[in-house]
Amino acid sequence: MKKNIKNDSKDSKKVAAKGYRVSSKLIHGPELMTKQWDFSHHVVPPQSSSVTYAVSSAQRGALGFIQFASDKDVHKTPILIYDRLEEPNRNMLEERLALAEGGEMAIAFTTGMAAISAILGVLTRTGEHIIAHHTLYGCTYSLLANWFPRDGRGVTFTNLLDIEKVMREIKKETRVIYLETPSNPILEIIDIGELRKAVDKINAKRKKEETIKIVVDNTFATPFCQRPISLGADISLASLTKGIGGFGTDMGGIVVGPKELRHPLMMYRKDFGGVLAPKSAWPTLVYGLPTLDVRMRKQQETAMRVASYLENHPKVARAIYPGLKSHPQYKIARKQLIDCDGNFAPGSMLYFVLKGKPAVAWKSGSTIIDYLAEKSLVITLAVSLGMIKTLIEHPSSMTHAAIPVEEQEKFGIDPGGIRLSIGIEDSCDILNDLDTALKLIK
């Protein structure tokens, strides 16, 4: 690594990859030669595995600490000191994720939850207030409902589909509006642009440090289908464990946003310690992100077929998929879920409810889930999502069990609702197994 300290002749070969499409840059990186690491012969970046880094002099070591603590240029070659500060594999991944999401900078964390708690930790303090959509990933709900109030941060859960109502919930202490779109698990689509307009009116009357930030969890859509910052969000975040990682081998989380948040997020990550391990950054850098485009195209095509099949099935009461015209926010979906070529990109996630009263629907649901768990090669009963393998689960008793059942029903999570995350298997196999399972119920 000592060689890394001086810029050598390879510097001259650093060619900015201008004119290339994002999907190509996610495979090769934004530049021909990365500034993050000095290697020129590896076609695949070496997997970095060093907790600490040798520096050539005490002065250089001191400079490393000064640079880290200053709000420096994101793209400068860092002086590497210690894994918890900066690290080449992770830095390269962050650079590409900023690019994928169309943000100024990205900071990676151990898990999606570590990313969420870090950005909310940076944006709010005791006495301040967060407004969140009432359907959220179960652990995010639990973080906001159980932990934040303990240190005096107020949280109001409300329906972000009703922007006027949201505006009425805003207090002078409100600093964050937090949402998922599409939401987990029922795939509601919240209009980020309309929310931006409404929040801007309030922010115009506030001091800069008291403005409200819009934070969007983009895990379901992935940057292939949606770039929230381009739609008006201040911050886009995601669990790398899901669609971006894609292969289900590693956990991770990312926060993407304006460069003034880089410094506080890096300081927060250094001190709270939830830094993404290089060994987990590497598979996402080498396998996950480069294949996001091809995986999502295939998954989405199958998801559309499965959604149409479920929508027309006599035993299904409701099939929810942003690609179906029957989706309650279809118009907003058409506007927001767009791939880099400008095509409608409704994603790989589906939600459906079987016919009958809630208890009956749940019983029918368990019948098909149990059958698939036992007999299907291509549909696996498991939480997580966005993987190359198709996963089925029951949100009410699994991913969203942290939300009390009465609350779940109020917010539209049916006791018998079933979530499907479509993988890259042959779509006929997925449809055949679903069809066989649905034959088992009355």
Ligand X SMILES: *Cc1c(COP(=O)(O)O)cnc(C)c1O
Report how far residue 387's alpha carbon sits from residue 4's, in angstroms, rounded to the nearest whole number. 36
Q: To the nearest whole angstrom, how small is the minimum distance from the Cβ of residue 144 to ligand X?
A: 12
Find the radius of gyration of the CA atoms of the chain: 22
Q: To the nearest whole angstrom, how small is the minimum distance from the Cβ of residue 280 to ligand X?
A: 10
Report how far residue 179's alpha carbon sits from residue 160's, in angstroms, rounded to the nearest whole number. 8
Nearer CB in complex with ligand X: 239/364: 239
140 lies in the binding site for ligand X (CB under 6 A): yes
Report the side by side order of strands in the sheet with 316-320: 316-320, 349-354, 418-421, 390-393, 379-381
What is the three-state SS of 111-179? CHHHHHHHHHHHHCCCCCEEEEECCCCHHHHHHHHHHHHHHCCEEEEECCCCHHHHHHHCCCCEEEEEE
174 lies in the binding site for ligand X (CB under 6 A): no
Q: Record the tokens describing residue 155, joined without a space.
A: 């949280």
The piece of 13-21, 137-145, 147-155, 300-308 that touches ligand X (CB under 6 A) is: 137-145
Quick check: 353 and 420 in contact, CB under 8 A?
Answer: no
Quick check: 242 and 386 in contact, CB under 8 A?
Answer: yes
Q: To the nearest whole angstrom, how small is the minimum distance from the Cβ of residue 172 to ligand X?
A: 29
The residue number with the shortest CB distance to ligand X is 112
Choose which of 137, 148, 157, 411 interacts with ligand X (CB under 6 A). 137
29 lies in the binding site for ligand X (CB under 6 A): no
The piece of 4-12, 48-56, 76-84, 212-220 that touches ligand X (CB under 6 A) is: 212-220
Report 232-271 residues binding ligand X (CB under 6 A). 239, 241-242, 251, 253
Q: Considering only CA atoms, which of 375, 421, 374 is closest in space to residue 398? A: 421
Quick check: 64 and 86 in contact, CB under 8 A?
Answer: no
Q: To the nearest whole angstrom, how small is the minimum distance from the Cβ of residue 92 to ligand X?
A: 20
181 lies in the binding site for ligand X (CB under 6 A): no
180 lies in the binding site for ligand X (CB under 6 A): yes
The piece of 1-9, 133-141, 303-311, 352-360 that touches ligand X (CB under 6 A) is: 133-141
Nearer CB in complex with ligand X: 240/345: 240
Choose which of 111, 222, 236, 299 interacts with ligand X (CB under 6 A). 111
Nearer CB in complex with ligand X: 110/302: 110
DSSP 2: G
Choose which of 30, 112, 228, 322 interacts with ligand X (CB under 6 A). 112
Nearer CB in complex with ligand X: 137/352: 137
427 lies in the binding site for ligand X (CB under 6 A): no
Q: To the nearest whole angstrom, how small is the minimum distance from the Cβ of residue 297 to ligand X?
A: 21
Q: To the nearest whole angstrom, how small is the minimum distance from the Cβ of residue 399 to ligand X?
A: 7
What are the backbone dihedrals phi and psi of residue 389, each rounded to the nearest 5 degrees, phi first? -100, 140
288 lies in the binding site for ligand X (CB under 6 A): no
How many residues bind to ligand X according to rule CB under 6 A? 16
DSSP calls for 352-365: EEESSSHHHHHHHH
Choose which of 113, 131, 216, 303 interacts with ligand X (CB under 6 A). 113
List Cα–Cα distances, 36 to 5, 51, 83, 103, 189, in angstroms.
11, 16, 14, 18, 37
Length in residues, the chain: 442
Q: To the nearest whole angstrom, how small is the minimum distance from the Cβ of residue 339 to ligand X?
A: 20
Buried b vs exposed e over 278-313: b needs ≥16 C-beta within 10 Å? bebbbbbbbbbbbbbbebbebbbebbbebbebbbeb
Q: To the nearest whole angstrom, how small is the minimum distance from the Cβ of residue 31 to ligand X?
A: 29
Q: What share of the chain is helix, strand, coil (3-state, %, to 5)?
A: 45, 15, 40
Quick check: 252 and 280 in contact, CB under 8 A?
Answer: yes
Contacts with ligand X by CB under 6 A lie at 111-113, 137, 139-140, 180, 184, 217, 219-220, 239, 241-242, 251, 253
